[in-house]
Chain A
Amino acid sequence: MHSKFLVATYSDSESLLRGVRLAREKNFRIYDVFAPYPIHNLDHEMGVRRSRLPWVTFVVGCLALTFAVIFQFYTTVLDWPLNVGGKPDNSSLAFIPICFELTVLLSGLATVAALFLRAQLYPGKKELLFAEGVTNDKFALVLRQRDAGFDAHRAIRLLQESGAERITEKGVEP
């Protein structure tokens, strides 16, 4: 499963955006863009869908809230009811702060864990850099030479037109 990529390197985000726009107009599918910072409006230009990760926050938040309510009720009402200052066993109002804290804690941790899973970020991973300097001052637009209809010459011409500094081919072993 050897994949071949066409990598165009830019030194400013305007030409990169121009490249993305041109490539999309000419029906090339953009594999990815690599940049040292999140470029304004690039999601829209690349046609990236808005991430659904907030659903993880919502679902885990609901579960955590349920857990916090049940846990506090179980310990103070069922497992060991204890009279403290004559307060009722089920002092539900007093349970609110811990319900809130547990909801925030577990949904926050779950969201970050989901991001790491989805983006495949984990300690010890060998970074796959398509061009030198994409974490410093370079921008790279990457097209995948996968389907039979991929016209490499047309793609290179198009990327040159958009103001790419360098265009290279890169093969990546999976």
Chain B
Amino acid sequence: MSSTVIRVNGKAPAAVEEKIPVLPPPVWVDGNPSLREITDDIAHPLEGRPGKGWWICFGVAFAALLNLGGMVTWLFAKGIGIWGLNNSVGWAFDITNFVFWVGIGHAGTLISAILLLFRQQWRTSINRSAEAMTIFAVMCAGMFPAIHMGRPWDAFFIFPYFPNQRGPLWVNFRSPLVWDVFAISTYLTISLVFWYLGMIPDLATLRDRARGGIKKFIFRILSLGWNGSHRTWSRYEIVSLVLAGLATPLVLSVHSIVSMDFATSLLPGWHTTIFPPYFVAGAIYSGFGMVLTLLIITRSTMHLERYITTRHLDKMAKVTMLTGMIVSYAYLTEFFSAWYGGNLYERYHFINRATGPYAWCFYLMVLCNVITPHFMWFKKVRTSAALLFGISILVNIGMWFERFVIIVVSLHRAFLPSGWGMFYPTIFDVGILVGSFGLFFTCFLLFIRALPMIAIWEIKGVVAHGAHKMALSSEDEEVAVSA
């Protein structure tokens, strides 16, 4: 009797070994649309007339943009005295907004470059709009250093150029502010090129859909004669990979360099080595917050839920939660180093941060950036568009206040109490901040009307290859098919 049992046991594993179960490949587009349906779905919003919702959003955004134009004109006429700046607080909303907008841009490059290198296919539905967001955010960011100069008409002095009309005097290459000029302009240029390059095949698709007239003419110029040749596709894919490889260290360098504007100074609260990684994590956190805000609105108003599914929202929520926790860890580390380092001024700064006159900003920041991410442990929250929308707004508010706390709270009580002061924003501070949102949303709303906001060709690749060919190695493929 015992011998039969042994035989059964000996046979059973051999049968199991034949079929190694493989996880089913992820599906990133609902309803398995045909190639033609994909083109129609994504190109459709560009061909009809915009809906009422779009006009309302555009009206509000454009009004804010006009307000920006007016306020910046007044700023140029009167000087930066119309802001609430004073001798103690020489940087406030201007640089806060600058760091905030640069940070927003980082999610776009993360999605388009880093996730491309990691072969994350969920990026294909969101990369185009995230890259557009990057470009518009960096435009908003670039505006602030220019307008906060006393003489903005001399803003070109920050670039070294030939022939050098300042005599032989050059910009100071040892200064992080000059590094910043190079970092931001490189970032804007490379992002723009990457975005445009990714769009060429889709522009060709739109060109061939257009029946003629001005639309066809414009798309023909922009699509550079693209005809879908595979020899070109082959080169194109290599170049995309190369650009992704270049953009990956670039995106990490940009916010590191922005953080060095602060970290290389001696001011308590700024003078810390943790700044570069802390700023990069914060940038990705705030950027994903903004991507969520934008995509949750556009997927429902443009009826693209099939392509931007709740599974995409879930992935983005996870990245947001992770980076939020890295940011929280950085907050803790800052407090720990202030206490453990024993520097009197550094210690006072952190006591002042938590108990001083701007403590409410600090606690608002903690609420938004330390507590909020933890709601996303729950799958129900991560897959609910409404809840995620609320969280994304809190993330944006929290990250704006983080920069405000770092910049203004550090400046307002630095070393000598005789140099202490308070900063109160004027209507021009607030108006220009609101106006920068106007610029951002006007650009974004025009983008979703004029250009394909989802990469048509990338979605086709993901759908047609049934995801598993790229997700699994070729050896696993047959098992997956048979299972």
Which residues of A line the B interface, CB within 8 A? 13, 32-43, 46, 48, 50-51, 53-54, 57, 71-72, 75-76, 79-80, 82, 84, 87, 91, 94-95, 97-98, 100-102, 104-105, 107-109, 111-112, 115-116, 118-130, 133-137
Nearest-Cβ distance from residue A115 to partner chain B, whole angstroms? 5
| B54 located at the interface, meaning its Cβ lies under 8 Å from any Cβ of chain A in the complex | no
Contact status A116-B250, CB under 8 Å: no
Contact status B231-A126, CB under 8 Å: no
| B226 located at the interface, meaning its Cβ lies under 8 Å from any Cβ of chain A in the complex | yes
Contact status B225-A126, CB under 8 Å: yes
Nearest-Cβ distance from residue B299 to partner chain A, whole angstroms? 22
Chain B residues within 8 Å of chain A by Cβ, number: 69
Complex Cα gap A46–B230 (Å): 9
A136: contacting residue among B35, B182, B221, B223, CB under 8 A: B35
Contact status B179-A34, CB under 8 Å: no
In the complex, residue of chain A having the shortest beta-carbon distance to the beta carbon of B460: A37
- Chain A residues within 8 Å of B169, by CB: 80, 82
B230: contacting residue among A42, A54, A75, A108, CB under 8 A: A42
- Chain B residues within 8 Å of A128, by CB: 225, 227
Contact status A38-B193, CB under 8 Å: no
- Chain B residues within 8 Å of A87, by CB: 174
A127: contacting residue among B227, B230, B233, B234, CB under 8 A: B227
Nearest-Cβ distance from residue A171 to partner chain B, whole angstroms? 17
Contact status A104-B186, CB under 8 Å: yes
Contact status B193-A51, CB under 8 Å: no
Cross-chain pairs A/B with CB under 8 angstroms, 17 sampled: A33-B229, A37-B461, A38-B234, A39-B230, A39-B233, A43-B230, A43-B234, A53-B238, A76-B174, A94-B174, A107-B246, A115-B197, A118-B235, A121-B200, A124-B220, A124-B221, A136-B39
- Stretch of B73-81, B144-152, B204-212, B413-421 contacting A (4+ beta carbons < 8 Å): B204-212
Binary flags per residue of B182-213, CB closer than 8 Å to A gives 1, else 0: 11011001100100010011001101110000
Asked whether A101 and B182 contact (CB < 8 A) given A40-B465, A50-B238, the answer is yes
Complex Cα gap A136–B35 (Å): 7
Contact status B170-A80, CB under 8 Å: yes
In the complex, residue of chain B having the shortest beta-carbon distance to the beta carbon of A120: B225
Complex Cα gap A82–B173 (Å): 11
Contact status A84-B189, CB under 8 Å: no
Asked whether A137 and B34 contact (CB < 8 A) given A95-B173, A119-B236, the answer is yes
Complex Cα gap A127–B208 (Å): 10
Nearest-Cβ distance from residue A102 to partner chain B, whole angstroms? 7
Nearest-Cβ distance from residue B276 to partner chain A, whole angstroms? 11
- Chain B residues within 8 Å of A130, by CB: 227
Contact status B35-A57, CB under 8 Å: no
Nearest-Cβ distance from residue A131 to partner chain B, whole angstroms? 9
Contact status A121-B234, CB under 8 Å: no
- Chain B residues within 8 Å of A119, by CB: 229, 231-232, 235-236
Complex Cα gap A134–B197 (Å): 19
| B21 located at the interface, meaning its Cβ lies under 8 Å from any Cβ of chain A in the complex | no
In the complex, residue of chain A having the shortest beta-carbon distance to the beta carbon of B175: A84
Contact status B230-A34, CB under 8 Å: yes
Asked whether A34 and B228 contact (CB < 8 A) given A97-B253, A127-B204, the answer is yes
